[in-house]
Amino acid sequence: MIEFQNVVKKYDNGVTALNGVSVKIEKGEFVFIVGPSGAGKSTFIKALLKEVKVTSGHIHMDDMEITKMHRRKVPFLRRKVGVVFQDFRLLPNKTVYENIAFAMEILGTPHRNIRKQVPMILALVGLTGKGNYYPNQLSGGEQQRVSIARSMINNPPILIADEPTGNLDPDTSWEIMKVLRTINRRGTTIIMATHDREIVDIMKKRVIALENGLIARDDKIGVYGYDD
Amino acid sequence: MTIKPIFTLKEAFKNLWRNRLMSIASVSSVTATLMILGIIFALIININAMAQSAKDQFDSIQAYLKEDITAVEIDAIITKLSAVNGVQSVAYESKADALVKMKESWKDNAYLLEGLEANPLPSSIIVYLKDIYYASSVLIEINGLSGIEEVKSYQDIVEQLLSITEAIRKAGIIVIFVLIAISTFIIHNTIKLTVNSRQREINIMKYVGATNWFIRWPFLAEGTLLGLFGAGIAALLIRFAYDAVFEIMHTDFYVLVSAYVVLPEVLMADIAFLFVVIGAGIGALGSIWSMRKYLNV
Ligand SMILES: Nc1ncnc2c1ncn2[C@@H]1O[C@H](COP(=O)(O)OP(=O)(O)OP(=O)(O)O)[C@@H](O)[C@H]1O
Ligand SMILES: [Mg+2]
């Protein structure tokens, strides 16, 4: 469970990106964060990952209070939360297999387990047999699937995605959404910031709309609701 | 968390090779720093050794006795001085002893002394000190005695020697600290290059939940390697240089001084240890410093 209590984030340059956000997200939910550019979606996600320090308010994740967490504990928070970005963030000089294995090596997973689990996660995201490819030998959609595989390899209970389909064409975007839906059905909570109207409208999931750092809408089965 | 030392070392070598120009610059700066440190260290060690043997030679006070002193009075003085704190032993040197000594030290010119009608040299009491440190307190005791004509001590010379040693030591330490700061800075810049080129990787590692030490470790290995290379080269150079100086010192010309020069083997044992510790320290410090900014994600 994730809970934001009156969270305010004011950047050093004076911009108030979050202006008192309170919201609760239950375990296993699939939530879209929508809103115009600059509304504070990415800031919302960064606050959850403790990539930015909030100005006031509290953020709880299960029994952790993220806002009060010591810097040294942040790595352990990140292990509970898989992250996927618009630009994939794969290491270009490592193969698909190595990119995913990397996330396990960091946790000190024995190689025996890595060899067993990487093919399993590759199958889950539909990339069986592509383990030895380098990122530049893959399409954008395939690269994003590698990045999802990497974020999921250590079985985090939460997956956060900031515009994961932002760089992909509609067909490829849908393939990614299918992967995310599969992961969500296995019980992983998914929070996804997006500008993709079609996806939001068709998926029929919870939609939280941010505007000027405030929650403008929070619908159980929502729609995108903007014209951009 | 498992750390794979061989893998880390291989990666470190690869990265050092990739930035080889900066690596060479770093190693050179560590080498230069440690060379200068080595020279200062060799100087200090030798001066200390010389000061030590000077102290051993000058750790006595000679009190010349009045002409009219009686044997009973001499015995009293000896007994009294033997009891003073810091006195090792007390010896009596008669007028005849003094003449013999002088003849010995004048060697070939001793015939000049043959013409003397009477022995002009005074008898004296020689007080051997446990340590030069007691010189002033013992001097006060001696000056309080009657029957003493004049006191000769080496206190001034020794104190001057000690203050010179101290000045060299202080100046050396300042120079060394400045040099260490400079080479730490240069290593910091070198490691920053690899850190920069791997910024993306570090960022991803942080997102996947790597701890700071997991990320720092390979860079730390790189920096430490640079420092140790520098230390190794500097140790070799110092060894050759010191051997050469030692050779020169043992030609006839310097034979008087050479007795005090510290043996190369003795010096190298200290230097090797010092260089490894300082070299590795500079490298480790430089690399941790270069990562500070990147780990606060
Ligand atoms: N590091 C930063 N320093 C200063 N201001 C920032 C920083 N990051 C974001 N902002 C500002 O905070 C506001 C919210 O930014 P944020 O990135 O959260 O918006 P967003 O909803 O993700 O927008 P987009 O849809 O374009 O990605 C914007 O006005 C932005 O300029
Ligand atoms: Mg954004």
Q: Is the pLDDT of residue B155 over 80?
A: no
Residue-range domains of chain B with CATH: 5-54+158-294 (no CATH), 59-153 (3.30.70.3040)
CB atoms within 10 A of CB B14: 11
- Mean pLDDT for the stretch of residues B74-89: 87
Q: What percent of chain B has pLDDT over 90?
A: 10
For position A193, what pLDDT does the model report?
A: 97
CB atoms within 10 A of CB B21: 9
- Name the burial class of residue B6, with classes exposed (0-12), middle (13-18) and buried (19+) by CB atoms within 10 angstroms of its CB: exposed
Highest mean pLDDT among A35-39, B69-73, B180-184: A35-39
- Name the burial class of residue B207, with classes exposed (0-12), middle (13-18) and buried (19+) by CB atoms within 10 angstroms of its CB: buried
Q: Is the pLDDT of residue B127 over 70?
A: yes
Q: Is the pLDDT of residue A226 over 50?
A: yes
For position B51, what pLDDT does the model report?
A: 73
- Mean pLDDT for the stretch of residues B34-61: 81
Query: Does ligand 1 lie within 6 Å of residue A17's CB atom?
Result: yes
Interface touch A106/B208, C-beta < 8 Å: yes
Predicted confidence (pLDDT) per residue in B261-272, tens digit: 788 888 888 899
For position A181, what pLDDT does the model report?
A: 95
Task: Please list, in sequence order, all residues whose beta carbon lies within 8 angstroms of the beta carbon of residue A152, skipping any fewer than 6 positions away.
Answer: A82, A121, A124, A125, A159, A183, A188
For A75, the closest of B201, B203, B210 (CB atoms) is: B210
Q: Kindly identify the ligand whose nearest atom is closest to the C-alpha of A33.
A: 1
For position A32, what pLDDT does the model report?
A: 97
Predicted confidence (pLDDT) per residue in B176-187, tens digit: 889 889 888 888
For B210, the closest of A72, A83, A106 (CB atoms) is: A106
Which residue(s) pair with B243 in the sheet? none
Confidence of residue A15 (pLDDT cuts 50, 70, 90): very high
**Strand order in A56-61's β-sheet?**
A16-25, A2-10, A56-61, A64-65
The helix (H) or strand (E) run that includes residue B239 is: helix B212-249
Q: How far apart are CA B216 and CA B219, in angstroms?
A: 6
For position B1, what pLDDT does the model report?
A: 45
A225: helix, coil or strand?
Answer: coil
For position B139, what pLDDT does the model report?
A: 85
- Mean pLDDT for the stretch of residues A142-148: 95
Q: What percent of chain A has pLDDT over 70?
A: 100
Predicted confidence (pLDDT) per residue in B241-294, tens digit: 988 888 887 776 665 566 677 888 888 888 999 999 999 999 999 888 888 877
Q: Among residues B86, B97, B145, which one has the least CA distance to residue B124?
A: B97
- Average model confidence (pLDDT) for chain B? 83
- Selected for mutation to probe chain B from A86, A90, A99, A105 (highest B CB count within 10 Å) is A105
Predicted confidence (pLDDT) per residue in A111-132, tens digit: 899 999 999 999 999 999 999 9
Instruction: Indicate which residue's Cα is closest to atom 7 of ligand 1.
Output: A11
Count Cβ–Cβ pairs < 8 Å, chain A vs chain B: 43
- Average model confidence (pLDDT) for chain A? 94
Q: Is the pLDDT of residue A203 over 50?
A: yes
For position B68, what pLDDT does the model report?
A: 85
Question: What b/e sequence results for A63-98 when a residue is b if at least 16 CB atoms lie within 10 Å of its CB, and e otherwise?
Answer: eeebbeeeeeebbebbbebbbbbbebbbbeeebbbb
* Lowest model confidence (mean pLDDT) among A43-52, A115-124, B70-79: B70-79
Q: Is the pLDDT of residue A191 over 60?
A: yes
CB atoms within 10 A of CB A190: 22
Q: What are phi and psi of A211, to 5 degrees?
A: -140, 125
Distance between Cα A42 and ligand 2 center (Å): 4
Q: What is the reported pTM?
A: 0.70
For position A47, what pLDDT does the model report?
A: 95
Residue to substitute in A15, A37, A214 for testing ligand 1 pocket (most ligand atoms within 8 angstroms of CB): A15
For position B2, what pLDDT does the model report?
A: 53
CB atoms within 10 A of CB A35: 26
Two tokens, residue A90: 């794969």
Scanning every residue of chain A, which has its alpha carbon at the shortest distance from the alpha carbon of B206? Answer: A75
